[in-house]
Structure 1
Amino acid sequence: MEPIRVAICDDLPGERDTLLALLEQAPIATVCTQFGSSEELLEAFRPDKFDLLLMDIYMDGMTGVEAVQKIREMDKAIPIAFTTTSTDHTLESYRLSVLKYLEKPVQQKEIDDLLRLVKLQKDSAPQLAIQQNGKTQKLPLSELMVLEQQGHHVTLFLKGGSTIQLYGKLSDLLPQLEGQPFFCPHKSYCVNVAFVVGINEEYQCYKMSDGKNVPISRTNRKAAKKEFEDYLFAQTRGIG
């Protein structure tokens, strides 16, 4: 089992050491990275770099709440737990989809329960089963940006820039994507709408977060626009 990647952000070294000690005693393995300020965390943060963020609220400079607001603009899914001495920010916790609110001093059981919850979410995340080299592999849908039919192969474009090429048809993979935020704007393409940043009206294509353009067929233009707008609306409601 891969360890849970934890980012700890607190401007007090002693508080970070306390959390590290609790994480080391937890029954679930972790790999931890420390940050002494919100600014330091934001400079290093990238979507999918961490599995969990432990964020102090009251820090010199940018507060934890302000930092999480910026992080939610980049990554709407990463589990976040506020660590603080006050419960004055419970409303912000709800609005920013914060998983837990841990009052200091944080207890071992709270950390253990939090890690179990993060692991459960990670293990139950939707996946795409693919065949490679005679073996079945499972790819988290959160890492899959675009599927493209190219001749007798399907190319999977992943978050981070890597690709996987499979022999077969796009239509054979689509049943696994039902109920997830995927849409086929063209017979040769299927996109993860979470990675769409806009629609180029002139060239009629989805603009993806990695700069890739995915064509939209004439018959799918109205549906493609509605799919994107519905997704944005749902996300806005989900995080406030």
Structure 2
Amino acid sequence: MQKIRTVIIDDEPFSRDELKFLLERFPEIEVVAEADSGERGLEMIMTKEPDVIFVDIEMPQMSGLDLARTIQNMKKVPLIIFATAYPDFAVKAFRVEAVDYLLKPFDDEQLNETMSRIRERLHGSEKTENADSVAKLAVDDNGRFVFLSPNEIFYLFREERETIICTKERNFSSKLSMKELEEKLKGYPFFRTHKSYLVNLNAVEQLIPWFNGAYQLKVVGRKDDIPVSRNYVKALRERLEL
């Protein structure tokens, strides 16, 4: 098993110890260094070249956000997971391309979701490295911002004034329009099947004739029927090589 080299950066010893303890149950994680300041964390990143860093935001002198901005020009930028007691920094975290945003006190479910995103990003990094598109989307999860890889998204649809983003197991909401999200997802295999639906073609399981030349789609792991308008059928069949 290839280890995920990890550095924990937090000025509070208890928080570092708690996070290290929780990460020990993931056998692929190897904590290669800890740091009690942003400056020391930067030194550890330069010398240890980790795959992932867990970093607190509120630290004296160099904050976690300052550290994240500083490392953006490195040749190898580690995945950034912010671990903080302050939910108000989520938008700023997204702007420095954080993969996730853990709120203290940590819980198992939250950490499991973060680990899923880490695995997805590291596993799929070669496929998306040169794409002219986002590396992840910030979505609302009951007041907490979550960062989704496009590969996790099965389909999106418009509902009143929100866009609903559907993964295999959960739905999230976004204030962005379908057009805005479609632009952000360029470079990934998403296809507009209807004026209100955008589907990840890698998740398509069935294409079912409906009526008057229209079709319905089903995606893996979901029971929903996704409409395919007649105007999109020909192009969709070509994309699916049918």
Larger RCO: Structure 1 or Structure 2 (Cα < 8 Å, ≥ 6 residues apart)? 1
